[in-house]
Amino acid sequence: MDKPAVRDAALLVFRAVLGIIFVAHGVDKMFMTGMDETIGQFSAWGVPQPQISAYLAAIGEMIGGAFLVIGLLTTLVAGALALLAACALYFVHLGNGLFATDSGIEYPAVLVVSLLMVVVFGAGRASLDGVLSRANS
């Protein structure tokens, strides 16, 4: 299982799933729930500067998620999204227990750790980062 092709395929699937999840959450905030409601939720949760934070979260999730899927600026984007997920963990989920059904830390903790794995292991060769690094060598 320690073959480069297997590792690159696993990283591709891992990145794609994470990216799609972030894009979906950003689209939900921006277009389904709506920014007025999202800003209200952020305010109720005590998130600093709820209007700016809500727009940063929604746009960051959509663009960052798309970048994860295609593997562009992957470690930078994964690090930024990990910080965003850590903020959600702190402001929204901390103190609600473990389980996601109770709005606990389970879901954002998995996201943070998953994104840190991408930061550590990179995008793999099946990514734009991989293609661009090969083109520069």
Tens of pLDDT, residues 42-54? 999 999 999 999 9
Per-residue three-class SS string for 49-93 = CHHHHHHHHHHHHHHHHHHHHHCCCHHHHHHHHHHHHHHHHHHHH
Q: Give the pair of three-digit tokens for residue 99.
A: 């389980």
The percent of residues in the chain predicted with pLDDT above 70, rounded, is 99
2 pLDDT tier (thresholds 50, 70, 90) = confident
As a whole number of Å, the end-to-end CA separation of the chain is: 27
The CA-based dihedral angle spanning residues 22, 23, 28, 29, taken in that order and rounded to the nearest 10 degrees: 70
List pLDDT tens digits, range 58-114: 999 999 999 999 999 999 999 999 999 999 999 999 999 999 989 999 999 999 999
Task: Give the pLDDT confidence score for residue 36 in this predicted structure.
Answer: 98
List pLDDT tens digits, range 110-127: 999 999 999 999 999 999
CB neighbours (10 Å) of residue 2? Answer: 5
